[in-house]
Chains A and B, each alone.
Chain A
Amino acid sequence: MKKLNDLYSQITPKTSPEELSARIMNTPELKKSPKRKGFRPALALSAAAIAVSSLVVTAGAVNGWDYGAVFESIFGEKAYNLQGNIVSPATITKNKSENLDISLSAIAADKHSVMAVLDIKGKNGYELFNADDENNFFNNFRVFMSVNPKDDDGIYSSSNSVHEIERGENSLRLCIRMDTHGDIKGKRFDIALSDDNRSKSEWKANFKADYTATDTVYDIDAEITIPVSFGNTEFYQSDKNAIVVDGDPERGEIVIENIEETEIPDNFIYGVDIPVEYATANIDEIGISPISVFISGDFTDSFMGEVGNLDNICVIDKNGKRIGINCSSTSGLEVLNPETNTYESISSFALIEPVNPEDIAALVIGDTTIELK
């Protein structure tokens, strides 16, 4: 491997260390952020906090949750796709906020994702949407959800995304979503709301992903073929819709078609013939649940550059309507497959509204449409 070492030694940055150091230390926007100053209502909370412990949320009809009212208000009729995914009620373990009324209104989950709805109201004169950025809710509070450390055996790397669902005069409905790469069923979760400048949370709850739904992830095993390098300009322009692999999803096959027209990239080598290569990869799993799309690492590693921007993912229903535009993603993590005892890479993409996996006709990833027949 001496040749490799020689080669790597020749790959050097153009920027000198001195230049890079100076750039980081001297450029104002790259300097350490100054501490913000000024009055912050959240910091003025009295020590006489309202202590509420072990308060089980019991309102609602299904499994302790007012599922219908909450998720229907968010997703309309599509909320029915979440049926059966309601987790057990949560326990509020801490509620010390004098400025906020916080209630956990609903939780739903699938194999890898959890959505929780929080209703927040300002009180005691605290204005959630104070025009002064220093004082409003969004600059002072953070919401975070995680797998309880006792249940986290190392594979629950995750991402959080928070979406504002509804805004009242001094109230707010947030949907906090967490995507993980481990099967979360039966795991305990913590959800906390804390002052940005405090290490301790002001409000905290925990719950168990103890939903009764059957496996809602729709798995597809498939083998796909896709071009991994393009020929000259002529090929690039003309070879659209060329990749068709017939298949029957019910038998674990898949159809790929419609490599969409894309602008010729700036750095494309004009007039140079590059042999066109096609590569085949197994999609170990494309999973579609009511709130997520899962794509195996085989696909993302091999074809991320070829299918286009992986952030552009959506699904198309049988009527041709685009639904479920993704709102966040988690990728590059390795998940232990208990059947083979090997680690596999999976990416998950959050859908901003629930879908019925049975109604999905196609999955669009970047420039590529994968039709599910």
Chain B
Amino acid sequence: MPKKTKGLIKINTVEFTEYVTKFQPNIFRLAYSYVKNTADAEDITQEVFLRLYRSSETFISDENAKAWLIKVTINTSKNYLLSFYRKHKVALTEDIALNDEKDYALLEALNRLNKNYRVVIYLHYYEGYPVSEIASMLGISENNVKQRLKRGRDKLRTYLTD
């Protein structure tokens, strides 16, 4: 966890811009895993980096910073979902340009998954976090993470062979 230094603004504008450059896509993808649409994911990404800009966090490494940003993204996304987003909606994928027609099917299948499965799949398979770290980020047990990964994979397989 990042070490907090009260009262000091540790991140200067150069560092801030570097963090945005390095991690914006990751944060965006994680937010997208929660909300399933790019407009809301953009809003959440901005909110997360705004918190970073306003915070007095100091990080000992990029990985440290990334872990902090991911934790904030998880919380921000959860709050976002609860606050006002919930309306009848058909998941659309037209606002994401993908290379291959098969990718659209995969994205659609991913978006059909329960968000709990989607998020652990993203964190494990794309971000490469081990089960123990995902458990810590999400505040759940390692067994729960493993269970979600397995169920998520199974469901994904089912959806893709439908």
Contacts and interface: CB of A to CB of B under 8 A. Distances in A.
Interface string B137-158: 0111101100000000000000
Contact of A13 (B28, B53, B54, B88): B28
Contact of A304 (B86, B96, B106): B86
A14 B82 contact: no
Nearest to B138: A334
Interface string A204-239: 000000000000000000000000011000000000
B63 interface: no
B125 A265 contact: no
B54 A32 contact: yes
A331 B82 contact: yes
B43 to A, nearest CB: 10
B78 interface: yes
Contacts of A333: 139
Interface residues of B, number: 53
A343 B89 contact: no
A25 interface: yes
A311 B81 CA distance: 10
Contact of A301 (B42, B89, B116, B140): B116
Contacts of A157: 139
Contacts of A367: 88
A5 B156 CA distance: 14
Contact of B24 (A20, A33, A310, A311): A20
A30 B52 CA distance: 12
A305 interface: yes
Nearest to A272: B90
Interface string B81-107: 111101111101000111100110011
A169 interface: no
Nearest to A3: B106
A301 B115 contact: yes
Given A5-B126, A334-B140, A343-B140, A17 B24 contact: yes
B65 interface: no
B17 A18 contact: yes
A7 interface: yes
Contact of B89 (A17, A297, A305): A305
Contact of B29 (A8, A301, A331, A343): A8
A5 B122 CA distance: 9
A323 to B, nearest CB: 23
A10 B93 CA distance: 12
B82 A343 contact: no
Interface residues of A, number: 53
Contact of B106 (A4, A13, A24): A4
Contact of A306 (B50, B88, B92): B88
Contacts of B97: 10
Contacts of B58: none
A60 interface: no
Contacts of A5: 125-126
A311 B82 contact: yes
B81 A304 contact: yes
Contact of B90 (A21, A30, A32, A269): A269
Contact of B103 (A10, A12, A15, A268): A10
B90 A308 contact: no
Interface in B41-98: 41-42, 45-46, 49-50, 53-54, 78, 81-84, 86-90, 92, 96-98
Given A230-B90, A265-B87, A269-B90, A4 B121 contact: yes
B110 interface: yes
Contact of B114 (A15, A17, A267, A302): A302
A201 interface: no
Interface string B14-49: 001100110011001100100000100110011001
A301 B114 contact: yes
B13 interface: yes
Nearest to A8: B126
28 contacts: A3-B106, A4-B106, A7-B107, A7-B110, A10-B98, A10-B103, A11-B28, A11-B38, A12-B25, A13-B25, A14-B38, A14-B42, A17-B17, A20-B24, A20-B45, A23-B46, A157-B139, A265-B88, A267-B92, A268-B88, A297-B116, A301-B114, A301-B116, A305-B86, A305-B87, A308-B87, A334-B140, A343-B140
- Ranked nearest first, the 10 interchain pairs of A and B with the lowest CB-CB distance are A17-B21, A13-B28, A332-B78, A8-B126, A1-B125, A21-B17, A17-B20, A21-B20, A309-B86, A334-B140
Given A8-B126, A11-B96, 7 more contacts: A6-B103, A12-B25, A20-B20, A269-B90, A274-B90, A308-B86, A334-B141
